[in-house]
Amino acid sequence: MATAGAGKLRLDKWLWHARFFKTRSLAAREVSAGHVRVNGARVSKPAHQVGADDVLTFPQARVIRVVRIVALGTRRGPAPEAQALYEDMTPAAGGTETQENRPAAPRYEGKGRPTKKDRRKLDLNKP
């Protein structure tokens, strides 16, 4: 399968190779929705050609990811191989919530939703 240019690959295919999305169709959907930027410009076509040194900005879960393409993959290999395809430039979360600094969800002695009595206790303890 030949690529359009030397050292170029479809954006949706690269995102899938680098394991940012579980399927190629999910990657294409995110690009089509206009959620991906290449070198600061919004891209809406999954077939947009990307190469080495391009910077991609896109949302992944609750984090905005910024990555620089280091290499183009030839296959969707194991995670260590995929991590070698990019350099993560995502800024450290200063004021945003991350997995580490997110407050824990309140725990209840029982399972599931709190009862009305538990709810009143929680409301009384609020600052």
pLDDT at residue 26 tops 60? yes
pLDDT digits (tens, 9 = 90+) for 1-12: 444 456 899 999
Superfamily of domain 1-92: RNA-binding S4 domain (3.10.290.10)
pLDDT score, position 3: 41
97 vs 79, higher pLDDT = 79
Two structure tokens written together for 9:
């690959």
| Confidence band of 100 (pLDDT split at 50, 70, 90) | low
In angstroms, the CA 111 to CA 114 distance is 8
What percentage of the chain exceeds 70 in pLDDT? 80
What mean pLDDT do residues 89-114 have?
67
In angstroms, the CA 87 to CA 109 distance is 44
In angstroms, the CA 34 to CA 26 distance is 13
Two structure tokens written together for 43:
């891209």
Q: What is the pTM of this model?
A: 0.70
Residue 67's SS3 state is: strand
Contact 82, 73 (CB under 8 A): yes
pLDDT score, position 97: 52
Which residues fall within 8 angstroms of residue 70, CB to CB, at 6 or more apart? 52, 84, 85, 86, 87
In angstroms, the CA 54 to CA 38 distance is 7
Q: What sign for the dihedral angle of Cα 108, 113, 115, 119?
A: positive
What are the respective helix, strand and coil percentages of the chain, to the nearest 5?
25, 20, 55
